[in-house]
Chain A
Amino acid sequence: MKIEVFGPGCPKCVNTEKAIKAVLAELKLSAEVVKITDISAIVDRGVMFTPAVIIDGKKVCEGKVPTPEMIKGWLK
């Protein structure tokens, strides 16, 4: 599974990445977590509201920090 986190490096984006890694550790899942900070790359992927999360090519969250419950929902 490939999880991409989009954001130019503000606290919200950092928290999003942390939250995802915490849930992965809690559920003992392994996934590739990639952080994309380049604005051109972010826009090229069709993201305008950061932080955003794309899992295996599907956009699951845009414009807010996800809660652990939301992340668990995506990982199922």
Chain B
Amino acid sequence: MSERAKLFLMAAVFLVFYYAPFPHPRVQSAILEAFWMLQDYAQRHVLFCLVPAFFIAGGISVFVSQASVMKYFGPKADKLLSYGVASVSGTILAVCSCTVLPLYAGISRRGAGIGPAVAFLYSGPAINVLAIILTGRVLGLEMGLARAFGAVAFSIVIGLAMASIFRHEGSVPDDSMFAAKDDTVRPLWKEVLYFFSMVCVLVFAAWGRPEQPVGFFDAVYRIHWWLAGAALLALLWMLSAWFTKDELVSWKDSTWGFAKQIFPLLLAGVFAAGLLMGRPGLDNGLIPNRWVALLVGGNSLWANLFASVAGALMYFATLTEIPILQGLMGSGMGKGPALALLLAGPALSLPSMIVLNKVMGTRKLLAYVGLVVFMSTLAGMIYGALF
């Protein structure tokens, strides 16, 4: 940051505090709401959802071999397989856009072509594990599943559409960049069990009390701590029996890396959501509920389109789309527009469009943005009509 920028920043902060209308009741309630919202996250979502999710994401980035996925994106790879792997590879490969872009360019120009590359470009940020887990936890299982399913389906459809629009684009295939490097150190079933036990810890620790104390969900709820504990013990045993010390250190490092990168931004997002919209169900935020309901309430074409376009333009730091949406839905946003925003939001933003423009060119960028907005609107309409 230049000295001049620092000066402007300081002046801006000063002016905000100089003129902020603190005596206004809505401003006062909004500030309190922001802290209530932070407390709600701290009490309900941090220990048993975010912390295990960071460990899972860290484990994936260290133990799942990224190079082994690349062979599905080579110029000679089976196209069907390319699309399939691209649509779910976001869970394994991507956390930030700076990893995605070189991969996109490589796949598009040297490998399987623009279709799988675009599928990958979309699925990368849209379907990362942390986002799906927290969406299910905060916005409900239904929304989490709709998001995961929508992201996978979108990436394939958008990839296929891009491939058919730009089918005459040339590329310089280079098979050597996609050579399979086999660097696995333990059998697949051990890795699967390792991840499965982590997921069990997460699922059982976060098991919610059902509304009626009957049936399967209640039976699990009664013993959920025992189940989570058993999964944790199994995990600890696996760690000591199958993993080397170096591996555990790099797992810890990458988990800590995720936490450092994501947690502060998420807290800022929760705070902003509380300030602007208030806690769900209350009309205490800076933005009155009726404005939200006016713009994105119900399930009209307009509401869905507005949510898609706003999502495509807005920048959300990893996971912050979730508290923002929670606030918006609590203020009267419809479920359809909420899904539309979830599907268009993380994949695109104004800053990322500027970078993408350099990498893919204006024509492809416009087609890509158009497809994302159109598909998100459509998915929002369908979801809103069903639920």
Which residues of A are at the interface with B, using a C-beta cutoff of 8 A?
Answer: 6-10, 12-13, 39-40, 42-43, 46-50, 63
Once bound together, how far apart are the Cα atoms of A50 and B149, in whole Å? 29
Once bound together, how far apart are the Cα atoms of A10 and B174, in whole Å? 26
Nearest chain B CB to A25 CB, angstrom units = 24
Whether the Cβ atoms of A43 and B106 lie closer than 8 Å is: yes
Whether the Cβ atoms of B102 and A50 lie closer than 8 Å is: yes
B138 contacts the other chain (CB 8 A): no
Whether the Cβ atoms of B177 and A46 lie closer than 8 Å is: yes
Whether the Cβ atoms of A39 and B358 lie closer than 8 Å is: yes
Residues of A with C-beta under 8 A to B67? 49
Tally of contact residues, B, Cβ under 8 A: 20
- Nearest chain A residue, comparing its CB with the CB of B178: A48
Top 3 closest A-B pairs, CB basis? Answer: A10-B98, A48-B106, A43-B105
Once bound together, how far apart are the Cα atoms of A46 and B66, in whole Å? 16
Whether the Cβ atoms of B102 and A46 lie closer than 8 Å is: no
- Nearest chain A residue, comparing its CB with the CB of B107: A48
Whether the Cβ atoms of A9 and B102 lie closer than 8 Å is: no
Nearest chain A CB to B26 CB, angstrom units = 38
Whether the Cβ atoms of B102 and A49 lie closer than 8 Å is: yes
- Nearest chain B residue, comparing its CB with the CB of A42: B102
Nearest chain A CB to B292 CB, angstrom units = 34
Whether the Cβ atoms of B105 and A40 lie closer than 8 Å is: yes
Which residues of B are at the interface with A, using a C-beta cutoff of 8 A?
Answer: 66-67, 70, 96, 98-99, 101-103, 105-107, 109-110, 174, 176-177, 355, 358-359
Residues of B with C-beta under 8 A to A49? 66-67, 99, 102-103
Nearest chain A CB to B265 CB, angstrom units = 13
Indicate whether A48 sits within 8 Å of B98 (C-beta atoms), given known contacts A39-B358, A43-B110. Answer: no
Whether the Cβ atoms of B103 and A39 lie closer than 8 Å is: no
Q: Known pairs A43-B110, A48-B106, A49-B66; list 4 more (Cβ under 8 Å).
A: A9-B98, A12-B98, A43-B105, A43-B109
Whether the Cβ atoms of A46 and B174 lie closer than 8 Å is: yes
Residues of B with C-beta under 8 A to A6? 102
Whether the Cβ atoms of B101 and A8 lie closer than 8 Å is: yes
Whether the Cβ atoms of A48 and B103 lie closer than 8 Å is: yes
Nearest chain B CB to A34 CB, angstrom units = 17
Nearest chain A CB to B311 CB, angstrom units = 23
Q: Can you identify 10 A-B contacts, CB atoms within 8 angstroms?
A: A8-B98, A10-B99, A12-B98, A13-B98, A40-B105, A42-B102, A46-B177, A47-B102, A48-B177, A49-B67
Whether the Cβ atoms of A39 and B177 lie closer than 8 Å is: no
Indicate whether A46 sits within 8 Å of B101 (C-beta atoms), given known contacts A39-B358, A39-B359. Answer: no
Whether the Cβ atoms of A39 and B101 lie closer than 8 Å is: yes
Residues of B with C-beta under 8 A to A12? 98
Once bound together, how far apart are the Cα atoms of A7 and B359, in whole Å? 14
Nearest chain A CB to B181 CB, angstrom units = 10
- Nearest chain A residue, comparing its CB with the CB of B111: A48
Residues of A with C-beta under 8 A to B107? 48
- Nearest chain B residue, comparing its CB with the CB of A12: B98
Whether the Cβ atoms of A63 and B105 lie closer than 8 Å is: no
Once bound together, how far apart are the Cα atoms of A7 and B100, in whole Å? 11
- Nearest chain B residue, comparing its CB with the CB of A50: B102
Nearest chain B CB to A49 CB, angstrom units = 6
